[in-house]
Structure formats: C-alpha cells, structure tokens
Amino acid sequence: MADSKKRYLGGARILPPRVRGEMTAAQLVEGVFSAYNAARLREAARLFASKMLAPGATVAASLAGALTPGGYGISCLIPLVEAGFVDWIVSTGANLYHDLHFGLGMRLHHGSPFVSDVELREAGVIRIYDVFFDYNVLLDTDAFVREVIRVPEFQRPMSSAEFHNILGRYVTEREKVLGVEGHSLLAACHRAGVPVYTSSPGDSSIGMNVAALSLTGSKLTIDPNLDVNETAAIVYDAKRSGGKSAVLILGGGSPKNFLLQTEPQIQEVMGLPGKGHDYFLQVTDARPDTGGLSGATPAEAVSWGKIDPEQLPSAVVVYTDTTIALPLLTAYALANREARPLKRLYDRREEMLDRLRKDYLAREKKDG
C-alpha cells in the first residue's frame, strides 16, 4: 500500500460485534460506538478513563443545564464524586438549588412536555421540560435555605465553595433524619471534601434567598474575588506540583468559562508560568458559528491560553445531549477505573491560595 494511502487507511477496521442483550453500557461504548458522534463519545470515554483519571490529574467538572432535577446528581455525579473521579466543581446555582429538593426528601415526578402550562400553573405544578413537581417544593426549599443561612456561621463574607460546603453539612444531617442518604450532590461533596463553586451566585433561588435576607440585616455575602482566586489556586497547585489539570465540561455557559478562565488568570493577569489545561472533554449541543458555544472549541481556547496546545490532540468535543452522554461516561469510567483516593481539595484551599499569593507577590516584586 502506498504511503499516502496508509496514512488514511491505518485506522482499525470497522467491524463491530453484534449487540447482545447482556452487554453493559461500557461494552456498548467500547465495541459498538464506531462512527460519527458515537465515536466521539467513545473517544471521550477513553480520554476520561485513561488520562483524566490517572493518579496525577486533578479533574474539574462544570455543570450547566437542568441536570439535578432530572436525577443526574443521584445517578451520575454523586458516584463520580464518591469514586474520586471529580475533584472540584463549577455549577449553575440552579443545579445546586434543585439538588436540595432530593436531600430534603421532596418528590419530583416524570411528566410530559406536551401539556398546557396554563393548566399546570392553575394546578400549582412546576415544569422543567418533562419533570414535574409541586410549587410547594420551591417554597419549602426556600424556607430551608433561609433557616440555615440565618445561623451565625453564615454571617460573614465567604467564597461560594465555603458557602456550599457548610450548606452541604446541613443537608447531610437532614438526609440522615429523613433516611435519604446519598440523594444530594452538595451533601456528597461536603463529605468528600470537593469544593463546589457557582460562577453567578445571584442567578438562582439560593442567591435570591441570600439577597432577600440581606434586607433584614444578614451579613452573608458570596465574595467573587475569593472564587476567582481559589479556583486559580487549585489549577496552579495541580500544575506546579507536577500533575495535570483536566476539565469535564457538561454544557457551556458561565460555569464553562469560569472553569477555563483559571489559566488566563494565572498567565495573563498574574503573570505566572502556565500553558493551559492539559485535558479537555466537553459535551455540548451548541455551535461555535452562532456564538452560542461559550468559549467555543478547544482549538479556539488555545488562543486564550486556556488549553495547552501540546495536548490539543487529546481534546474531545462530543456534540450530543449531556443527559445521554453523562450516564455512559460514568458507566465507562466506573467499569474501567478503580476508585481514586479523594484529594479533599476543599480542606486545602488556604494552603493552595497561600502558594498562589506568595508566587504572585514575588513576581510583582521582581517586576517592580
């Protein structure tokens, strides 16, 4: 075969096994997902399990879209956290708010998107596409949040990671009382020492309740400066300690950018050495040409210093629905990787931030 032909025909032959009823999800991904976006999902699963979950890699996940109300916190995200496969998180506030419903033992139901929302409103039923729940779920969750954040330990400025960790402790205790342990992602992250940040604290019902209590004299504020510096410190520590930084991006939006901007914060703003995140895995249904794919493709992210250009061949974008891809990625990872020791990055926040601060101040002093 001519060299030019070998270059293009050197890939494995497409000859998948017949699908069998007893096949596991991991076996389907590995053996049957042979072309098109299915093949991209297989590439993503291999990247996640083989490189991103290697012992020296620190894995961040960004969460956008209504994942927790659909049950994906319980089914996928909590198992990933408990297995040590996700070390820190950036999420929309909405995902964290709806996660609370499960930790408080409230009921969400399968429904249909093809109903009258006027009738639902009259019946006091909330709809998130095909997820239904009683309007009182919102009121009762709001009441829980307000009750908790009135306590003295919340009466000060803090990062969103500290806020969610303390809130997660209260949810953990409520889970025990109600007998629903393992239902809340925030509670699981509290137990595992996984810091959870939200890139827009006021853009959710949790933030709305925090704002409401500020009118009554509450001293609680979420400090975005702490969030920016703490997240940069996590990435800086991972890289300066000889490890890798890996990002698992579920959807796009603000959480994606907040996660990725850690590298420009280190390089561009602080002037410290860096080359970008090492491993990039994104699941999205957006397109870059319309401006709807926040942060665009990994290739474009290289131009910002967000992604290490030497690692670009390992970056994978899967153009599909997160609710389809996430369970398959989770099953594949759990089938192909042993659980990793928990990094408990939440407990090391001050240490990592101090390292970043010292190096930044030293660079500032050197530059005059």
**What are the tens digits of pLDDT across the range 336-352?**
999 999 999 999 999 99
Report whether pLDDT(237) > 90: yes
Report whether pLDDT(189) > 90: yes
User: C-alpha angle 45/92/181, rounded to 5°?
Assistant: 75
Comparing 106-110, 146-150, 253-257, 310-314, the range with the smallest average pLDDT is 310-314
Comparing 5-9, 21-25, 103-107, 317-321, the range with the smallest average pLDDT is 5-9
How many alpha carbons lie under 13 Å from residue 284 in its C-beta half-sphere?
A: 22
In the annotation, is 306 catalytic?
yes
Comparing 50-59, 244-253, 302-311, the range with the smallest average pLDDT is 302-311
Average pLDDT over residues 101-125: 97
Share of the chain above pLDDT 70, in %: 93
Report whether pLDDT(312) > 90: no
User: pTM of the entire structure?
Assistant: 0.93
Q: At 89, phi and psi to the nearest 5?
A: -135, 140
Catalytic residue among 306, 343, 358, 365: 306
Fold observed for domain 24-363 = Deoxyhypusine Synthase (3.40.910)
How far, in Å, CA of 188 to CA of 172, rounded?
Answer: 8
CA 365 to chain centre: 36
Q: Is-contact 272 360, C-beta < 8 A?
A: yes
How would you label 322-357 residue by residue, b for 16+ Cβ within 10 Å and e otherwise? bbebbebbbbbbbebbeeeebbebbebbeebbebbe
pLDDT band, very low/low/confident/very high, at 240 (cuts 50, 70, 90): very high
Sequence-ordered alpha helix ranges (H) in 150-293: 160-178, 185-192, 205-214, 224-240, 253-260, 262-264
Report whether pLDDT(202) > 60: yes
SS3 314: helix
SS3 257: helix
How far, in Å, CA of 261 to CA of 278, rounded?
Answer: 14
Q: Give the mean pLDDT of the chain.
A: 93
